């Protein structure tokens, strides 16, 4: 076991800041979405992804790989959203095992309804707090962080 390289002051401040911001932002987002739209953050993310997907549908696995949650977690959420009429399941014609999650019109409407408030909160808690230069650094740095982590199974 090599000698531990502890974090110096600069590194510690960055790490603490990241961790705290991460927790607080997520909490706030969840709260705002639930209060204003009755959607959880994971559910909102699913709607966004489906809305952006060609044909407004995605395979369960693709959806899970996005980042949201584990496979089983996704199954749960999609089931909930299906009950709420926001999403519909469609079996894949070329692979019997496969399942598409399809965005319904109701789901699309719900998303459009929730989006403005969500964006406003995103600005309030993060985007409008930072300068354009800071935003660029964030995009580049954290983008790389995410890229390196993506692909690991959970």
Q: Which residues bind a copy of itself (CB under 8 A)?
A: 1, 4-7, 10-11, 13-28, 31, 67-68, 115-116, 119-120, 122-123, 125-127, 129-146, 148-150, 152, 154
CB of 143 to DNA, least distance (A): 21
Sequence-ordered list of residues with C-beta below 8 angstroms from that of 100, at least 6 positions apart, any chain: 57, 58, 59, 60, 89, 90, 91, 92
Is residue 4 within the footprint of DNA (CB under 7 A)?
no
> What DSSP string describes 26-90?
HHHHHHHHHHHHS--HHHHHHHHHHHHSGGGEEEHHHHHHHSSS-HHHHHHHHHHHHHTTSEEEE
Work out which of 19, 24, 31, 55 binds DNA, going by CB under 7 A. 31
Q: Does the protein bind DNA through residue 75 (CB under 7 A)?
A: yes
Q: Which of 3, 9, 95, 128 binds DNA (CB under 7 A)?
A: 95
CB of 62 to DNA, least distance (A): 7
Give the nearer residue to DNA in terms of CB position, either 75 or 108.
Answer: 75
Question: What is the three-class DSSP state of 13?
Answer: helix
Tell me the three state secondary structure of residue 146: helix
**Residues at the interface with DNA (CB under 7 A):** 27, 31, 40, 42, 59-61, 69-80, 89, 92, 95-99, 154
């Amino acid at each position: 076991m090599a000698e531990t390289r502890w974090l110096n002051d600069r590194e510690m401040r960055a790490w603490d800041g990241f961790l705290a911001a991460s927790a607080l932002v997520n909490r706030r987002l969840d709260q705002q979405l639930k209060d204003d739209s009755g959607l959880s953050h994971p559910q909102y993310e699913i709607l966004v992804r489906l809305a952006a997907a060609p044909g407004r549908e995605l395979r369960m696995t693709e959806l899970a790989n996005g980042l949201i949650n584990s496979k089983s977690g996704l199954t749960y959420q999609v089931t909930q959203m299906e009950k709420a009429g926001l999403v519909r399941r469609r079996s894949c014609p070329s692979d019997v095992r496969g399942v598409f999650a399809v965005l319904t019109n109701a789901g699309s409407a719900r998303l459009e309804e929730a989006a403005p408030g969500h964006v406003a909160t995103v600005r309030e808690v993060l985007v409008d707090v930072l300068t354009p230069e800071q935003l660029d650094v964030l995009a580049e740095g954290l983008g790389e962080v995410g890229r390196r982590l993506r692909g690991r199974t959970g």
